[in-house]
A = this chain, B = another copy of it.
Amino acid sequence: MKNIDEFLSGIKEFCSPKVISKVNDHYLKLAKVIGKLPLHKHKSDELFVIVNGSMDMEVEGKIYPLKEGDVFLVEKHKMHRPIAKEQCDCLLFEKKDLLHTGDQVFDITKTIDEQL
């Protein structure tokens, strides 16, 4: 058993998702997001739940403002990026093999092992 607040206090790096639990062939992760991430897409869906703060989600050129408690599905193959002016903490539900910056590698890209 883990706790969201305690787990967040152990995350020192921004935009670096960390696995808090597995469930079947998916992971539940926590991330502290700040800044404008590079546009990317995934082969499978990615679900966001905002835990603290707010951010915008850009999906195929459209901006969706997200606040605490919002649940937002980024469907597979959609180009997207989070944009957070200030720190925004979020839960991510995604398949175990999902690469967090999709099919591209950026400076911020972490391997799945680095997220464990």
Contact = CB atoms under 8 A, between A and B. Distances in A.
Interface of A: 1-7, 20-24, 26, 28, 44-47, 49, 64, 66-67, 69-73, 76, 91, 93-95
Which of A23, A45, A64 gathers the greatest number of chain B CB atoms within 10 Å?
A: A23
B45 A2 contact: no
**Stoichiometry, copies per complex:** 2
B1 A91 contact: no
B95 A21 contact: no
A58 to B, nearest CB: 14
A113 B21 CA distance: 27
Nearest 6 CB-CB pairs, A to B? A23-B47, A4-B69, A23-B45, A2-B71, A24-B45, A1-B72
* Interface of A: prevailing SS: strand
Nearest to A94: B23
A4 B71 contact: yes
A69 B26 CA distance: 19
A91 to B, nearest CB: 7
A72 B21 CA distance: 8
